[in-house]
Amino acid sequence: MMILEEIRQRSNFLGTQVAVRNSGKKLGVVSQLWADFERKAIVGFSIRPGLLYGSSQFIFWSSIRDFDDVIWVNDEDAIGAIEVAAYTNLINCEVVTETGVLLGSVRDFVFNLDSGNVTSLILAAIGLPFLSDLVLSTYELSTDGVLSSGSHRLIVCEGSEERLLQRSVGVLERLGIGSPPWERDEDDTWIPSSQGKLGDWDDPAGGAAPSPRPRYPAPTPITDDAAATPD
């Protein structure tokens, strides 16, 4: 069993070669990570022959036996099947406080390489990992404040915007023409529905969604039957 106290970012873990420890046979490279966010932990990862091509297979996190430049598993039986609809890859999930303040979307996350525990989220106004942090300002938020999760949204405790650590300053902010989502006009704020359904847009008086549409897209409603496929 590996004994590591390292932390790693998802973006640095993707593309890592996976091989069988005894034979050295290469099984593929990591193409996606899947988390059970009720436990705030990674449950496993998808592998493909190449990062951008080939059919995917799943390996449980508990199957990892060692890690250096390669992820080592004991044998090919490490490859299994999983219903990924029950889990999340976290990428592009909206992060909203319990009082309705939109903090941004997840573009990366940090985890403990030994336990698989997700320790912090890296947020930006747009949760697309391929957009450089030279373009978008990014912020880090500890997962300690996460109250609940769904396939498309994480709800965090009130005041979490004050606990964000800025990691990079994007070009728009440098030019003075961009600002964090939580500093937008009040009319752009998403608040929980009075009906108790996450994802509805309401104004404080209980009316319809504001018009014109806010500068950031309305959150995608969480659905229990949302399908997911491993990347």
Residue 20 maps to which CATH number? Answer: 2.30.30.240
Please indicate, yes or no, whether residues 132 and 171 belong to a single structural domain of this protein.
yes
Please tell me whether the peptide bond between 212 and the residue prior to it is cis, using omega within 30 degrees of 0: yes
DSSP E strands: which ranges in the chain? 7-9, 17-20, 26-36, 41-48, 57-60, 64-67, 70-73, 79-80, 94-97, 102-112, 118-124, 138-142, 146-149, 153-156, 165-168
Beta strands 7-9; 17-20: pairing state: unpaired
SS3 content of the chain, % helix, strand, coil (to 5): 15, 35, 50
- What confidence score (pLDDT) does residue 188 get? 45
Q: Both tokens of residue 60? A: 């449980």
Q: Give the model's confidence band at 190: pLDDT under 50 very low, under 70 low, under 90 confident, else very high.
A: very low
Average pLDDT (199-204) is: 32
Chosen domain end from 86, 105, 126: 86
Residues 99 and 168 in one domain: yes
Give the pLDDT confidence score for residue 128 in this predicted structure.
87
Contact present, 54 and 74 (Cβ < 8 Å): no
Q: Which residues are CB-neighbours of 194 under 8 A, at least 6 positions away?
A: 202, 206
3-state SS assignment for residue 127:
coil
Decide if 142 is inside a domain: yes
Distance CA 41, CA 24 (A): 28
My answer on whether 113 and 51 are in the same domain is no
Question: Domain check: are 120 and 145 in the same one?
Answer: yes
Greatest Cα pair distance in the chain: 66
pTM strictly above 0.75: no
78 shares its domain with 151: no
231 confidence band (pLDDT: 50, 70, 90): low
Residue pair 125/155 in contact (Cβ under 8 Å)? The answer is: no
Q: How many domains does the chain have?
A: 2
Among 58-62, 134-138, 174-178, name the one with the lowest average pLDDT. Answer: 174-178
Is the pLDDT higher at 42 or at 230? 42
The last residue of a domain, from among 86, 106, 139? 86
Measured on CA atoms in the order 84, 85, 90, 91, is the torsion positive or negative?
positive
5 exposed, middle or buried (CB, 10 Å; 0-12, 13-18, 19+)? exposed
Q: Are residues 104 and 21 in the same domain?
A: no
Residue 38 has a pLDDT of 87
**Between these two residues, 29 and 173, which has the higher pLDDT value?**
29
- The reply to whether 100 and 169 lie within a common domain is yes
Could you list the residue range(s) of the whole structural domain that residue 107 is in?
Answer: 94-188
First-to-last alpha carbon distance for the chain, in angstroms, is: 27
Mean pLDDT over each residue of the chain, to the nearest integer: 78
Per-residue pLDDT averaged across 168-178, rounded? 78
The reported pLDDT for the residue numbered 55 is 87
The answer to whether residue 70 is domain-embedded is: yes
Q: Please report the pLDDT score of residue 82 as a whole number.
A: 77
Whole-number Cα distances in Å, 171 to 64, 112, 174, 231: 40, 31, 5, 30
In a domain, 196, yes or no: no
Q: Which helix (H) or strand (E) holds 11?
A: helix 10-13
Q: Are residues 111 and 165 in the same domain?
A: yes
pLDDT above 60 (res 133): yes
Asked whether residue 169 is domain-assigned, the answer is yes
Higher model confidence: residue 224 or residue 149? 149
| pLDDT tens, position by position, 141-172 | 999 999 998 778 999 999 999 999 999 988 87
Give the angle 193-199-168 at the CA atoms, nearest 5°: 120
Q: Is the pLDDT of residue 211 over 60?
A: no
Q: What is the pLDDT of residues 78-113, one digit of tens each?
A: 898 877 778 999 999 999 999 999 999 999 999 998
40 lies in some domain:
yes
* Confidence class for position 116, pLDDT limits 50, 70, 90: very high
Q: Are both 98 and 184 inside the same structural domain?
A: yes
In a domain, 181, yes or no: yes
Answer whether residue 218 is part of any domain. no
Whether residue 176 has pLDDT greater than 90: no
The answer on 145 and 72 residing in a single domain is no
